[in-house]
Chains A and B, each alone.
Chain A
Amino acid sequence: MAYSLKQQVSKPERFAGGHRLCAGCGAGLAVRGVLRALKPEDKAVITNATSCLEVSSYLYPYTAWQDSYIHSAFENAGATAGGVEAAYRVLKKKGKINDTFKFIAFGGDGGTYDIGLQSLSGAMERGHDMVYVCYDNEAYMNTGIQRSSSTPRFTDATTTPVGKVIPGKPQNKKDLTAILAAHNIPYVAQTTFIGNFKDFHEKAEKALYTEGPAFLNVMSPCPRGWRYEAEDLAEICKLAVDTCVWPLFEVESGVWKLNYEPKKKLPVEDYLKKQGRFKHMFKAGNEWMIEEAQQFVDEKWESLLARCK
Chain B
Amino acid sequence: MARKDRMSGNEAVAFAMKQINPDVMGAFPITPSTEIPQYFSTYVANGEVDTEFVAVESEHSAMSTCMAAQAAGGRAITATSSAGMALMWEMLYVTSSARLPVTMALVNRALTGPININNDHSDSMGARDSGWIQLYAETNQEAYDNFVQAMPIGENKEVRLPVMVCQDGFITSHAVENIELLEDETVKKFVGEYEPEHYLLKKENPLAVGPYDISNYYMEHKKQQAEAMKHAKPVILEVARRFEEISGRSYGFFEAFEMEDAEVALVLIGSSAGTAKETVKQLRREGKKVGLVKVRVFRPFPMEELAEALKVVKAVAVMDKAESFSACGGPLFAEVRSALYDLENRPKAINYVYGLGGRDICVEDFAMIYDQLFEIGRTGVAGEIYRHFGQREQEV
Q: Which residues of A pack against B, CB within 8 Å?
A: 43, 45, 47, 54-55, 58-61, 63, 65-73, 75-76, 78-84, 86-91, 93-94, 96-99, 101, 118-119, 121-123, 125-126
Contacts and interface: CB of A to CB of B under 8 A. Distances in A.
* Chain B contact surface mostly: mixed
Contacts of B67: 72, 80, 83
17 contacts: A45-B201, A69-B206, A69-B207, A72-B209, A73-B91, A76-B91, A79-B61, A83-B54, A83-B66, A87-B76, A90-B50, A91-B201, A99-B201, A118-B61, A119-B57, A119-B60, A119-B61
B209 A71 contact: yes
A84 B71 contact: yes
B90 A73 contact: yes
Given A83-B76, A91-B74, A60 B214 contact: yes
A101 B62 CA distance: 22
Contacts of A93: 50
Contacts of B213: 60
Given A60-B217, A71-B211, 10 more contacts: A45-B200, A68-B202, A68-B207, A69-B206, A72-B67, A78-B61, A79-B68, A83-B67, A86-B52, A89-B52
Interface string B51-64: 11011111011101
Nearest to A83: B68
A9 B94 CA distance: 36
Contacts of A101: 201
B212 A86 contact: no
Given A45-B201, A58-B208, A58-B210, A87 B68 contact: yes
Given A69-B206, A90-B52, A94-B50, A58 B212 contact: yes
Interface in B304-345: none
B23 interface: yes
Contacts of A91: 23, 72-74, 201
Contacts of B74: 86-87, 90-91
A96 B73 contact: yes
Query: Looking at chain B, what size class is its interface with the partner chain?
Result: 35 or more
Contacts of A71: 209-212
B273 interface: no
B26 interface: yes
B24 interface: yes
A82 B217 CA distance: 29
Contact of A72 (B51, B68, B206): B68
Interface of B: 23-24, 26, 50-52, 54-58, 60-62, 64-74, 76, 90-91, 94, 98, 200-203, 206-214, 217
Contacts of B76: 83, 87
A99 to B, nearest CB: 6
B64 A72 contact: yes
Nearest to B209: A70
B75 to A, nearest CB: 9
A61 B213 CA distance: 8
A7 B61 CA distance: 40
B100 to A, nearest CB: 10
B49 to A, nearest CB: 10
Contacts of B98: 72
A78 B60 CA distance: 11
A79 B24 contact: no
Contact of B217 (A61, A83, A121): A61
Contacts of A76: 60-61, 64, 91
Nearest to B26: A83
A32 B111 CA distance: 45
A88 B54 CA distance: 13
A58 B69 CA distance: 20
A185 to B, nearest CB: 15
B55 A126 contact: yes
Nearest to A101: B201
A72 B54 contact: no
Contacts of B68: 47, 70, 72, 79-84, 87
Given A60-B217, A70-B200, A83 B72 contact: yes
A142 B65 CA distance: 25
A123 B74 CA distance: 19
B91 A87 contact: no
Contacts of B200: 45, 68-70, 84
Contacts of A83: 24, 26, 54, 64-69, 71-72, 76
A118 B56 CA distance: 10
B64 A68 contact: no
Q: Which of A58, A76, A89: most chain B Cβ within 10 A?
A: A76
Contacts of B51: 90
A98 B207 CA distance: 17
Q: Which of A55, A90, A97, A99: most chain B Cβ within 10 A?
A: A90
B201 A97 contact: yes
A63 B207 CA distance: 10
Given A60-B212, A71-B209, A88 B64 contact: no
Nearest to A58: B211
B52 A65 contact: no
A171 B279 CA distance: 65
Contacts of A47: 68
B72 to A, nearest CB: 4
A114 to B, nearest CB: 15
Contact of A70 (B90, B203, B210, B217): B210
